[in-house]
Structure 1
């Protein structure tokens, strides 16, 4: 019940703040969710059969891999959203044309994932996952250099780099996490990994959208994303997108550091 209330309050608060800005009810919900974190931890420490074995997180490989998964989601999963704002709002592409430019990266990630997963058993997950994050970081930094007159061909080219990065990171990091899970805790550890990644993704959208939309009213930014407006977008909006992408790159740098600090497989 406490975990459900925690996740519900944080989700509601962050979503509403990203849509309508700060106000009493969403701020209170977010504050309640954060206050429930130590309550949940305290209950888990005293529970006979906890959902999350806090002692398991002392395992360096497991703990740092989970932290890397969270920060990777926090720093990367909103990048496609930002690119959509750039392609539709700044470059005036249709939603279909904008999505087509991003297809190459998805294809590379889908093809590379299974191969990189098998390869990581031989090379180790530490290097594979960390290099994957670094490729994403370089790609995001590359996206941040795009302006209103950049060659659109750079978008699919950079997406090949980020697609390879995701194809390296996700299987390697998942292998590292699940290899440290006790046989009777596989489901719980997998659920914890998914929860951290989902929360990272949610907070990623809130953080980046708040930065990117600071230059224009939020309804205009949402209309750009949905492709329902042809209105001219202020040049300051491009600056906001660039700052949001740099913030994503900084979070990916933290994820890379955590991934490397996990240590070698054992």
Structure 2
């Protein structure tokens, strides 16, 4: 399937698969960004505080992070295309039952189920694309796929704001069900090569330990500033040490320790992706609350402003993807992270009286930076491994993305716990919210500075590898 000169029939087949995988990829950011616009209304309906409200996106991210690597390994055992289809089915069903969620705990449980389906989608999507497209065309295909992420981020706030304002927040999940159904109708057209098994051993011990690490960490973050939080986070660190020790000795590990240690381009590119998402995922979450709670905008108006960042991401990503096929993708990715860092620093100074035009300018800069980073970084990662590692690399990238998103929301939860506490998020305590938001963006700025240095060092390492 990676023939550089495919027949028209094969070209049509892989184009259809790329479209279906791209729609499946679109589901995650669309649902996540659209539900952010509904959070204030969900908080009012269920009567929950700011920390509990932050669990609506976090529950989804937690389950996705837990199941991503296992889903990738399952794709190697049962077939990438088959597991992608199972994930689409689970995601669609979970979206359907979320429409009738009767309470906040039920909503969080259904979001957790959505995350499992998402892990099965994302854990195999990039590997499917890498299987179908040769290196000379892969950057373009990745650019299209990444564009769908930014299209979801762009359309999510706008459509989510309109749906929430006029039809209620539950209507958001009708869109997800329709899109998931479209993919399900076409999964049967995936070629047999995408369902070929590539291993026959599943690392149950590694999967259990990695889940324990993430659950303990999330539980600890949610208990800040209680003393129990320190014990839970400490237990998470101990579980991580045990997990790494166990995986080091396994012949077919869930977590690719040897690959990360021996392939510095792969490891540093994944670390750069982790840092990128750690510092940027919560931007939409925080700005959605800022525009509605502090500035008093309607969900539709706030969604219109939040279109700006993903719009620029969507415009820049395919261009960056094509450029990454012709020039050094590491240089593009590093430039993008530097630009993103500048935007995050500017957001740390946003206050109650900041002009809307200035906010739009900042979001445009961050969107451009993210667009320059993502597709080239993906090209570097997938180009640094052999074909038999595609699923592993795909799952690893998705794990770094979702782990970064979890860390991003964890930073927000800690800031909310320390500065807002159990108080509901209302215009009356907008001062505490502003202080939390500014602190979080300052932390994100410092994180991206570290990421830019790592990405630059990765560029130097890649050049040395090519020369050798």
TM-score bin, normalised by smaller chain: 0.7 to 0.9
Range that drifts further, 56-65 or 246-255? 56-65
Match for 1:5 among 178, 199, 208?
208
Q: Report the CA distance shift for 1:235/1:171 in structure 2 as closer, same or farther (over 3 A).
A: same
The answer to whether the aligner puts 1:260 opposite 2:463 as a matched pair is no
Match for 1:215 among 409, 416, 419?
419
The answer to whether the aligner puts 1:55 opposite 2:258 as a matched pair is yes
Match for 2:396 among 186, 192, 213?
192
Q: Report the CA distance shift for 1:5/1:53 in structure 2 as closer, same or farther (over 3 A).
A: closer
**Aligned partners of 1:73 and 1:200 also within 8 Å:** yes
Q: Report the CA distance shift for 1:35/1:244 in structure 2 as closer, same or farther (over 3 A).
A: same
Matches of 1:113 and 1:12 in 2, distance apart?
33
Matches of 1:93 and 1:131 in 2, distance apart?
34
1:145 aligned partner: 349
Matches of 1:202 and 1:161 in 2, distance apart?
23
Matches within 5 A, 1:1-266: 1-23=204-226, 28-57=231-260, 58-220=262-424, 224=425, 229=426, 231-262=427-458, 263=460, 264=462, 266=466
Instruction: Quote how far apart the aligned CAs of 1:17 are.
Output: 4.5
Matches of 2:273 and 2:290 in 1, distance apart?
26
Matches of 1:99 and 1:85 in 2, distance apart?
11
Instruction: Quote how far apart the aligned CAs of 1:96 are.
Output: 2.4
Matches of 2:347 and 2:228 in 1, distance apart?
36
Matches of 2:229 and 2:412 in 1, distance apart?
18
Q: Report the CA distance shift for 1:203/1:218 in structure 2 as closer, same or farther (over 3 A).
A: farther
**Aligned partners of 2:221 and 2:229 also within 8 Å:** no
2:26 aligned partner: none
Larger Rg: 2
How big is each residue's C-alpha offset from its partner over 1:107-166, in whole Å with a ceiling of 9 and x where there is no partner?
121122111111022221111001111111111111112111111122222111111111
Q: Report the CA distance shift for 1:159/1:244 in structure 2 as closer, same or farther (over 3 A).
A: same
Q: Report the CA distance shift for 1:213/1:22 in structure 2 as closer, same or farther (over 3 A).
A: closer
Range that drifts further, 244-253 or 98-107? 98-107
Instruction: Quote how far apart the aligned CAs of 1:196 are.
Output: 1.8
**Aligned partners of 1:5 and 1:33 also within 8 Å:** no
How big is each residue's C-alpha offset from its partner over 1:221-258, in whole Å with a ceiling of 9 and x where there is no partner?
xxx4xxxx4x4224243222111100000011111111
Q: Report the CA distance shift for 1:40/1:215 in structure 2 as closer, same or farther (over 3 A).
A: closer
How big is each residue's C-alpha offset from its partner over 1:156-195, in whole Å with a ceiling of 9 and x where there is no partner?
2211111111111110111111111121111011111211
**Aligned partners of 2:217 and 2:236 also within 8 Å:** no
Matches of 1:28 and 1:8 in 2, distance apart?
17
Q: Report the CA distance shift for 1:8/1:26 in structure 2 as closer, same or farther (over 3 A).
A: farther
**Aligned partners of 2:210 and 2:240 also within 8 Å:** no
Where do 5+ consecutive residues of structure 1 fail to align? none
**Aligned partners of 2:281 and 2:405 also within 8 Å:** yes
Q: Which is bigger in relative contact order (C-alpha 8 A, separation at least 6)?
A: 1
Q: Report the CA distance shift for 1:214/1:97 in structure 2 as closer, same or farther (over 3 A).
A: farther
Matches of 1:63 and 1:117 in 2, distance apart?
21
SS in 1 for 2:356: coil
Instruction: Quote how far apart the aligned CAs of 1:197 are.
Output: 1.7
Q: Report the CA distance shift for 1:10/1:46 in structure 2 as closer, same or farther (over 3 A).
A: closer
